[in-house]
Amino acid sequence: MESIPSTPAELSLAITAATGLDGISQLRRLTGGASRETWSFHVGKEPHIIQRQRLTSPRDMHVEVGVLEAAYAAGVPVPRVLASSRDLVGDNPVGTQFMIVNAVAGETIARKILRDDEYASARKTLPAQFGSALGKLHRMNSAVDGLEDVDQIAFYQEHLRDCGQSHPAFEIAFRWLEENRPPVGRRCLVHGDFRMGNLIIGNEGLRAVLDWELAHIGDPAEDLGWLCVRAWRFGGAGPVGGIGAYEDLLEAYGEASGEYISLETLRWWEVLGTVKWGLMCISQAAYHLTGSVRSHELAAIGRRVCENEYDALLAIRELKKGKGSTRV
Amino acid sequence: MSELHDPPTAQQLVESVREWLESDVFPQVEGRLQFHTRVAMNVLAMVERELELGEEQNENYAAGLAAFQCSSEAELAEKIRTGALLSQEAEVEEFVMNSVIQKLRVANPKYLRDE
């Protein structure tokens, strides 16, 4: 197999060979995550983004390409897919699966969106825009191949059993989640990681929803609950991404989708999301502890697990008392 | 109790490094390196708190587990999962909540809500 183009000059040539995009300039690497790398470049004056899978990544990026195209067609604000390895005939000069999208200008850093003056008016409209975008997403008709529907409780219980640690708080949470599980809802495409950090925000509001890697088939309330997990409030007061009230999200969601999710159901999914993020913190620390990546940042995340234990137990205590509508 | 090691204590040593990061390094760096410096300062502050509180917390935790006839945390987790402690559900939840609060007193005391 040919080597994977790694320098900007090599990658630039490979992109042109693969897609016919000519006159590429300003190609530079933005981030290198565990599963993929992201580069930005210009074609003429138009800013583009290319994401390229790592060889070791187990995911199929072509599923994500299909999801993005379907979401775009349904009117969900997402970057537009301009080219991808899915549509190649023959060799892939870029080396691994890739997709190229138009770059959407704006801010993703939650602390800025939550605090800076230029987003003051956006903060008022965002909770409703989140509800509306999710409502459109969950109502789209087009089927996308390759998406899984996994029982969220069973999946994460197994995760807890296999992580090599004991967490009595999460056992209490799973017990409560099982006993209070809402009736199984409609199945639809869910984003899987819809939260501050994965959303591009402008001073007028939501511009694009990014990072569709974890999209799957599930209950529509899953995305809403995840958005309200305290970790994604980044210190902000409102439960919806740190800026809004539950009611604003639910109302806009109902208007866009025709489906009114109860606060009780939303909060159940928030508790599940809290446990899920706690378990994901264990996994992140494990990358360091097992030596696959050495990083004090990842190591420190292991000590954030208890934040999620605390939030889950607090929420359960509150919900048991019937204080489901509290705005904390 | 006599200590083998000479001063400074482990806690004081870690503190000295954290203070150096805060005063000399952090103001000189930016971007990703600044972020990682902040993470390092937070980690050292956590270690300082654990050195101060950890021993007593561990003793209390073991005593609390024993009160539920558990010799380890894993045993408590197992008993909650299987429902073996349902007759003491409220007491177990209170104990687990308190142990989580003890973890946060070391990991991130600012996270605790005033109640």
Nearest to B104 among A166, A300, A306 (CB): A306
Among chain A residues, CA nearest to B102: A306
A313 interface with B at CB cutoff 8 Å: yes
A229 interface with B at CB cutoff 8 Å: no
User: What is the maximum alpha-carbon separation in chain A?
Assistant: 63
Number of domains in chain A: 3
Alpha-carbon torsion (A129, A132, A138, A141), positive or negative: negative
**What's the distance, Cα to Cα, between the start and end of chain A in Å?**
55
- Which of B37, B79, B100, B114 to mutate to test binding with chain A, by most A CBs within 10 Å of its CB? B100
Tokens describing residue A184: 């199984």
* ipTM of predicted complex: 0.96
Dist. CA A127–CA A236, nearest whole Å: 13
User: Which pLDDT value is given to residue A14?
Assistant: 95
Host domain of residue A247: 105-148+193-216+227-261
- What is the average pLDDT value for chain A, to the nearest integer? 93
What phi, psi does A32 have (nearest 5°)? Answer: -130, 95
- A307-319 burial, b for 16+ CB within 10 Å, e for fewer? bbbbbbbbbbebb
Residue A99 pLDDT level (bands cut at 50, 70, 90): very high
Count the alpha carbons within 13 Å of A6 in the hemisphere toward its beta carbon: 6
Assess whether pLDDT exceeds 70 at residue A1.
no
User: Which pLDDT value is given to residue A33?
Assistant: 67
Dist. CA B4–CA A284, nearest whole Å: 37
Residue A108, classed as helix, strand or coil, is: coil
Residue A188 pLDDT level (bands cut at 50, 70, 90): very high
Residue A110, classed as helix, strand or coil, is: helix
Do A128 and A158 fall within a single domain? no
Q: Is residue A164 part of a domain?
A: yes
Do A269 and A161 fall within a single domain? yes
Nearest to A175 among B40, B74, B80 (CB): B80
* SS3 readout for A6-51: CCHHHHHHHHHHHHCCCCEEEEEEEEECCCEEEEEEEECCEEEEEE
pTM, two decimal places? 0.92
Q: Is residue A222 part of a domain?
A: no
Residue A2 pLDDT level (bands cut at 50, 70, 90): low
Residues of B in contact with A284 (CB under 8 A): none
Do A19 and A166 fall within a single domain? no
User: Which pLDDT value is given to residue B14?
Assistant: 98
Tokens describing residue B5: 């090691």
Q: Is residue A2 part of a domain?
A: no
What is the Cα Rg of chain B in Å? 19
Assess whether pLDDT exceeds 60 at residue A324.
no
Assess whether pLDDT exceeds 80 at residue B44.
yes
- Which of A230, A234, A307, A316 to mutate to test binding with chain B, by most B CBs within 10 Å of its CB? A307
Q: Is residue A282 part of a domain?
A: yes
CATH of residue A29: 3.30.200.20
User: Which pLDDT value is given to residue A326?
Assistant: 45
Percent of chain B with pLDDT strictly greater than 90: 93
- Chain B nearest CA to A231, separation (Å): 11
Domain limits of chain B? 10-106
Assess whether pLDDT exceeds 50 at residue A328.
no
Dist. CA A13–CA A146, nearest whole Å: 31
Dist. CA B64–CA B61, nearest whole Å: 5
A303 interface with B at CB cutoff 8 Å: yes
> Which of A56-60, A132-136, A187-191, A192-196 has the weakest average pLDDT?
A56-60
Dist. CA A188–CA A37, nearest whole Å: 29
| Chain position carrying tokens 């409220």 | B90
Q: CB contacts < 8 Å between A and B, how many? A: 71
pLDDT tens for each residue of A28-40: 998 766 678 999 9
